[in-house]
Amino acid sequence: MFIQKETNSMQQCFVAPSHVPFLEIRTTLHSTQPYAQHLHSQFCLGLILQGRTRFSLVDTPHLAVAGDLVLIAPWQAHSCNPEQGQARSYHMLFFDAAWVASTLFGHGLEATGEGPVPQLLLTVARPVLRSPALFQQALAMVEAAQQGGGTPAQWAAFLVTLVHDGGIALANGPTTTLHGMEGEERPKVQTLATQAGMRRESYSRAVRRSTGLPPRAYLHSVRLEQARLMLRRGCSVVEAAQAAGYADQSHFHRMLVKFFAVTPGCYQRLRK
């Protein structure tokens, strides 16, 4: 498997197997890179290959070690840091949330890969799973997918096994979107608060309660998700940055590294 060298020590690559279009695989080796608190539109499954990592889901801390599986629900704010600055290696799998909801719960939504599941929320009760058998099964699935193997039916069967162990559930409720925040390079939180009829401090607290993130961090996560999709479709870094509201390409680069710990160029070289 080809691994792109990002720094002198860290190596990583992204694979989006065309035969399983609902899945994207990130492989990161020997990384001490932390992640600022952020969120994804996909259901995320991590396999810790080496080292230890501390991560938070909203404000709840967790520890995952080599051999653990990590489950993160769509639109759930989280951060991830290596234990005491030591390197860790992992696979992170990103599943289209609509496909997961349809596969696990028969909801019948079309899996588009374009964003959150309308009016639905996936939840996870047990974000860290320590099951050697399940870990080995997941690892075999990842290695097969990276080489062009595995079928949608096999992935569906694997996810079904996670429902009980991970406490995955489908909850009714609105998706996490805050209309009006997506259009500006530097959103004026005071303006948004005034439009909502709230004081700035009250508005910021409301956003934090709703998303798990302060307004600016939420905005960056939404924009970077948009840019990620464009890069995956083959758009240039400049096109993705501008479409996501980053007039300054260097600003886009810094934010992608800060929140997703990857450079635009590395993600653009995603293998299909």
Whole-number pLDDT of residue 16? 93
Segment among 12-16, 70-74, 267-271 with least mean pLDDT: 267-271
User: Where does 189-268 sit in CATH, by number?
Assistant: 1.10.10.60
Q: What pLDDT score does 158 carry?
A: 93
Question: Which residue in this structure is represented by tokens 């030591």?
Answer: 86
Domains of the chain, residue spans: 4-172, 189-268
For residue 243, CA distances in Å to 54, 186, 222, 223, 263 come to 33, 14, 12, 9, 17
* Backbone torsions φ then ψ of 173, nearest 5 degrees: 150, 165
Statement: 4-172 belongs to CATH 3.30.700.30 = no
Q: Annotate 24-52 with b (16+ C-beta within 10 A) or e (fewer).
A: bbbbbbbbebebbbbbbbbbbbbbbbebe
Answer whether residue 4 shows pLDDT above 90.
no
d(CA 56, CA 128): 11
Check residue 271 and report its DSSP letter.
B
Mapping DSSP to helix (H, G, I), strand (E, B) and coil, where does residue 66 land?
Answer: coil
Residue 210 has pLDDT above 60, yes or no: yes
Q: Which of 113-117, 129-133, 176-180 has the lowest mean pLDDT?
A: 113-117
Tens of pLDDT, residue by residue over 71-106, are 999 889 999 888 887 899 999 999 998 899 888 887
